[in-house]
Each structure stands twice: as structure tokens, then as C-alpha cells.
Amino acid sequence: MTQERYYEGMLRMMREEDKVNYMQNKVNRSIWVTFRKEGIHKYPAAIDDPKLATGGWDDVSFLGYPHRHIFHFRVRIEVFHDDRDIEFIQFKRWLERLYSGQSNSTGTDSEGSTGASSTDSEVLLLDYKSCEMIADELYAKISAKYPGRFVEIDVAEDGENGCSIFYPNPKSV
């Protein structure tokens, strides 16, 4: 067996330390979950805004009336280590509960968060809210429970069209 020279051993140890430092300090870790909720919303301006109610091939005036979608959510959140910093099944269940009808008489859920109103069948009644507005409201709830982390939220109507918003870690802004 050959004996490692002193300088070769030192270089090997430094490379190993560099790798550990890199993994601890440079890698951005995150988890993501998906879920879907049925909802009804509308875009009131679409009824009479000439840019939207064109009467032609690009007319979207129908969006001004309540209409149904299956809203697809994808939520990504920063984690700080590789061993279930946030357990993603629990995170997904918490997010789904934010949109369940399980609220008390004050309109807040059991953790004090206000949720979108829903009927007994759990259809979200979103009124005039866009995908971007839905994402911003969801971010406020996530950042209150999990502060100091970057979050990315995608909200899509029927999995076709939607928004993707990246909320950087407030500490790094």
C-alpha cells in the first residue's frame, strides 16, 4: 500500500471541505407540490373594454361572466437542508386546507388564515381574482407560516394558461 504524501493529503482534504462548503452554502434547495381546486371567477372589464370585447376572433367578453375552471397550483418553496426541512406531503395538505371549506365563523381556518370563500362542495368562489391575485394571496399565507424562504407559485386555469410568480427570499433582496 502506498502512503499518501503530506501535500497530496492536504489537497484531498481541502477538496473535500470545498465540496461540503459548496453543498451547504451555494446550493439552492427547494421542494414543490401540486394540487387542483375547482373555482368560479370572472373578469368584469372583459364585458365592455374595447380591447377585450372586440366582436372579432379575439373577443373574450364571455370572461366578464362567472365561469368555471379547474385551477392547477404548483408551489415551490426553499428548504435549508436535505432531510425534510418541510415535509412535502404535510405542506401539500396544509395548502389544500387553505382552500377547503373548513373555516370558522370569522372566515379563518384553524390556523388563523383567511381563505377564499367556498361552498359546501368546495368550489372556490373567486369573484374577480386573476391567477396572479390568487398567487399573491397564497404567497402571503405561505410566507407567514414559513418566513425567510423563496417561494415560486404557478396558478393555471385548466392546466392551459396561467401565471408563474417567483417571490425571492426577503433576506436576499
DSSP letters for 34-74: EEEEEEEE--GGGGT-TTT--SSTT--GGGGS-EEEEEEEE
* pLDDT for 171 beyond 90: no
- The grid cell for 9 is 493529503
* pLDDT for 3 beyond 80: no
Task: Provide the β-strand partners of residue 125.
Answer: 40
> 121 lies in a domain?
yes
pLDDT per residue as tens digits for the range 111-129: 544 444 444 458 999 999 9
> 105 lies in a domain?
yes
> 113 lies in a domain?
yes
Which runs of E-coded beta strand occur in the chain? 29-41, 67-79, 124-127, 151-157, 161-167
Lookup result for grid cell 425571492: 168
> 31 lies in a domain?
yes
| Secondary structure (3-state) at 114 | strand
The H or E element spanning position 80 is none
* pLDDT for 172 beyond 90: no
Q: Model's pTM, two decimal places?
A: 0.77
Q: Supply the CATH number for residue 144's domain.
A: 3.30.479.10
pLDDT per residue as tens digits for the range 38-63: 999 999 999 999 999 999 999 999 99
- Give how many domains the chain has, as a whole number: 1
> 62 lies in a domain?
yes
> 71 lies in a domain?
yes
Domain extent, residue 108, equals 6-172
> 1 lies in a domain?
no
